[in-house]
A and B are shown apart, each in its own frame.
Chain A
Amino acid sequence: MTWIGRSLPRLEDPALLKGRGNYVADHAKGALHVTFVRSALAAGDIVGIERPAEGLVFTGADLDGVGPIRPVLHRPDYRAVGQPVLPVERVVFPGQAVAVAVAASAAEAEDLAEQVFIDIDPIEPILDFDAALAADARAVHPEAPENVLVEGRLETPGFAETVASAHAVVELELRSRRQSAMPLEPRGGVASFDEATGRVTLVASVQMPHMLRTGITDCLGIPESDLRVVAPDVGGGFGQKMSLFPEYVVLVWLARRLRGKVAWIEDRRENFLASAHSRDQAFTVRGAFAADGELLALEADLRSNVGAFSCYPVTCGVEPLMAFGELPGPYRFSQYKVRSRGVTTNTCMMAPYRGVARPMLTFTMERLMDKAAAQLGIDAVDIRRRNLITAFPHRSPTGVVYDEGSYLQAMEAAVAHVDIPAFRARQAEARRHGRCLGLGVSVFSERTGYGTPVFAQRMMGIVPGYESVDLVMDPSGNVEVRIGASPHGQGLKTSLAQLVSDEVGVTPDKVRVVSGDTDATPYGWGTFASRSIVISGGATKLAAVAAATKLRKIAAKLMEASEEDIALEDGYARVAGTNKAMPIPELARAAYHQSQRLGMPAGIRESGFYDPAGTFSNACHICEVEVDVETGGVRIVRFVVVEDAGVVINPMIVDGQIAGGVAQGIGNALYEEMIYDDDGNLLTVSLADYLPPTALEVPDLEILHMETISPESVTKAKGVGEGGTIGAPAAVLNAVADALSPFGVEINVMPATPERIRAAIRNAKVPADA
């Protein structure tokens, strides 16, 4: 019996359940509190900053020698824009930190911050890509006169002829409004200076502690060894806590300057204003189809509003270039013409959020399939059958290579599970009673677990991707696994313990995984991009295999058996075909304390390193909704997921990732939107206005699994962190469109709010009361 495949309750949970979690704000005791003074204006020149007569207030002018945050992309089209840690010349988005107030408590720091007056000569802000791309538009940054920070273009030879000879061309103009990852715990950091060593320890709610250390020390011009970064328990990240933000640089600078301890615990308003935003995209596509529904060619103009700055380290290329490269999704066609631009505006920086571009591109491809099906008179499932990739490895028109997947099979399984004919009968019956039910299908790929081979193609100045793991079995036979990944709710420590247990033969409760501390873990990239179980898991497995090999050698020596005959299980090393066995702790003790008998280096200490090219998970989502055509309200009736993420290490955890992802996808599809007014004031700065789903908006999911084994993952597991969020919006919105099909209206904007749905119905060619 193996540990892999079991729904083991998580090792992380008892502390969290007892209120003994260890989040950043829990580290603030004894610290001075920091409040950032933020720009009330979206754009303007800083004329002066008036400080109160008393109290500790610092501005950019005090940060002598502190460099800007400047992420690099080695592309000719990339315009590098440095983000000053605290600007002295101009502000470029509302909420940008300009000064910092330090006091004994958070309340007093806010009192002090209120006495700082920033005199700004306002400039009319540029808030969206239409304004930014206008011919006479002012440059948001002098470094980028056209307001385009990155641009990808591609046209395959033969594109034009293929389109010209196509049976039909189907056009779509889709929009994803700006959204927030909105982790329940906002950002925060506590920096403390150690007089003995001169080092600073920064405890911060982040996903990439090692990267943060590099970024901060680069800005401050100090060696990395002068800074220790600790990611404690982190209350959700979803990408928002991947990037380096100016606040963290300021905190470390303050700790050094004041030779003390300072804490900044971001509040919700700041999190909305000045943490990262995402998803602000407009896609215009034209699909050229054959009469039988085969997609022959795709043309796409993709615009992403990346906000005021480029995020570090992954840069503002993350959304536009992901959209550029992965728009084809799970569909087979060879002719592709694409232009994808990252446009800068006077809005909050856009950074990765669970799914990165793929919720929008899946929405796009899945709307395209439905619209083409309707236009060509083909069933919506049939048109997908015709176009889904079925031969692997598959190479997309942008050169992306898809490993083994089950795109078609997953859809067929979902379709069979849902029983579409039965639904159509219910739908027809409901329509006779004036009720609008709809069903939406979404098939998609989720690129997961990709290492430097993929990131290098993006030409980032900093190429992330690999993971390292140090594994030690101590003399008592317990295992400590030090990882460079930085889990924050994914249950990775439990999953890794299960992997280790199957190799070295001890139970998972004897495996302690250490993460999120630059002093205690090997350099690694953290947890994001559905990568940890594949890459950190792979490195862990390689280290565990090495440790198991050594244990078998020791056991063979001590029991005078052949190494190949040793099995490690249930806490014992057993010799096959005999009743000889030794408890693993005895082997461990021997490794350390009787090493002279063994003829090999003492101890059990192994490293694992893994840097894969990546593997694609795939899934099909099918959603059923009921739309209240009089209010525009949408109720989700049913949601089915068929997921293929390879071998499932811990089914309960995997299903939890899917369910959480789908919930966010539902929020993205129907509820969540960041709204600036025309003057650049953010109107959605509270949870009364920004609306994530609650328990009433999210149905119980029906989750089914498929298991395609890929050679691209040493654990045979594929990533599963983002899929729910990638696929759900398309399923929900296709269902809404299906429900409204009698009205002949289109659903082109995400989120499809009641107001948008109602407006579409009101403006429909077919009147609402028909």
Chain B
Amino acid sequence: MPDKIAITLDVNGKSYDVNVEPRRSLADVLREDCGLTGTHLGCEHGVCGACTVLVDGRPVRACLMFGVQAEGKAIRTVEGLADGDVLHPLQKAFWENHGLQCGFCTPGFLMLAVGALEENPAMSEAELRDVLSSNLCRCTGYQNIVKAVRLAADEMRARRA
């Protein structure tokens, strides 16, 4: 049995004490050790983006970080987006605009968009497309994802104002 390291992760504001091998990716730690299976693995080499989570507010690939590197960081995953049954504006917009089909890429797209919109709520259409080109979706053809994120951005801006 390879050596494990005891770490504490802060995920969605909750503390998780886990014992993990250094080689375990943050995605695997979230899924298997924290039981947060909303973060998905589609490629494990940083291209598809299904595992995108926020680390200290920035969207990153959870398959390209080791769990041990995430200690002391504020991690946010899809499970932390909704407030109970009240959906986040992005979740709501994805639902109302059919921004998902099989749903496998959805958590990654949501976290990508949350991070990007929190950094810059007033992205141009071109910037938005560019950011959303970071993740792959095989079902929707993207147009409803782009539309949902644009509408959610409007709502998030309105809420801030």
**Direct A/B contact, Cβ within 8 angstroms:** yes
Q: How far is the CA of A185 from the CA of B132 in the complex (A)?
A: 19
* In the complex, chain A residues 655-677 whose Cβ is within 8 Å of any chain B Cβ: 655-656, 659-664
Chain A residue nearest to B94 (CB atoms) is A17
Say if the beta carbon of B158 comes within 8 Å of chain A: no
Q: Once the chains bind, are A233 and B102 in contact (CB under 8 Å)?
A: yes
CA of A9 to CA of B95 in the docked complex: distance in angstroms?
A: 6
B104 touches A107 (CB 8 A): no
Q: Which residues of A contact B145 (CB under 8 A)?
A: 695
A442-473, CB < 8 A from B: none
User: What residue in chain B is nearest A237 (Cβ atoms)?
Assistant: B102
Q: Closest approach, in angstroms, between the C-beta of A258 and any C-beta of chain B?
A: 19
Q: Which of A155-202 contact B (CB under 8 A)?
A: 182-186
Answer whether residue A530 sits at the interface, using C-beta atoms and an 8 A cutoff.
no
Q: Check A692 against B138 for contact (C-beta < 8 Å).
A: yes
- Closest residue of chain A to B108 (Cβ to Cβ) is A184
List which A695-732 residues lie within 8 A (CB) of chain B.
Answer: 695-696, 698-701, 724
Pair B42/A13 contact, Cβ less than 8 Å: no
Which DSSP category, helix, strand, loop or mixed, fits chain B's interface? loop
Interface residues on B, range: 35 or more
- Whether B144 and A23, one on each chain, are in contact in the complex, defined by CB atoms closer than 8 angstroms, is no
Q: Which residues of B contact A265 (CB under 8 A)?
A: 41
User: A491 CA to B95 CA in the complex, in Å?
Assistant: 12
Whose C-beta in chain A lies nearest to the C-beta of B143?
A700
Q: Is the CB of A13 within 8 A of B100?
A: yes
CB neighbours of A233 from chain B (8 A): 102-104
| Complex Cα–Cα for A132 and B64 (A) | 42
Closest to A657 in B: B101
Contacts of A267 in B (CB 8 A): 44
Tell me whether A659 and B137 are in contact (CB under 8 A).
Answer: no
Beta-carbon contacts of A116-156 to B below 8 Å, as 1s and 0s? 00000000000000000000000000000000000000000
Interface bin, chain A: 35 or more
Which of A28, A107, A661, A694 lies in contact with B24, CB distance below 8 A? A107
Q: Min CB distance, A281 to chain B, in Å? A: 22
- Asked, given contacts A184-B48, A488-B102, whether A694 binds B138 with beta carbons under 8 Å apart, the answer is no
User: Quick check: is B56 within 8 A (CB to CB) of the other chain?
Assistant: no
> What's the minimum C-beta distance from A619 to chain B, rounded to whole angstroms?
15
Q: Does B18 contact A (CB under 8 A)?
A: no
Q: Which residue on B lies nearest to A687, using beta carbons?
A: B47
Question: Judging by beta carbons under 8 Å apart, are B23 and A107 in contact?
Answer: yes
Known: A19-B38, A19-B107, A235-B40. Contact between A490 and B45, CB under 8 A?
no
Interface residues of A (CB under 8 A from B): 7, 9-10, 12-14, 16-21, 23, 25-26, 28-29, 107-108, 182-186, 233-236, 238, 265, 267-268, 488-491, 652-653, 655-656, 659-664, 686-688, 692, 694-696, 698-701, 724
* Interface CB pairs A-B, < 8 A, 20: A13-B94, A17-B78, A17-B103, A17-B106, A19-B36, A28-B32, A29-B35, A108-B2, A183-B102, A233-B103, A235-B103, A236-B101, A236-B139, A268-B45, A490-B101, A656-B141, A659-B144, A695-B133, A695-B146, A724-B141
The 10 closest A-B pairs by CB, nearest first: A19-B38, A235-B104, A489-B102, A16-B103, A663-B141, A659-B141, A19-B78, A687-B47, A489-B101, A694-B133
Beyond A659-B144, A692-B136, list 13 extra A-B contacts (CB 8 Å).
A9-B96, A17-B87, A17-B94, A19-B77, A25-B31, A184-B105, A235-B40, A268-B42, A662-B141, A694-B135, A696-B130, A698-B143, A724-B141
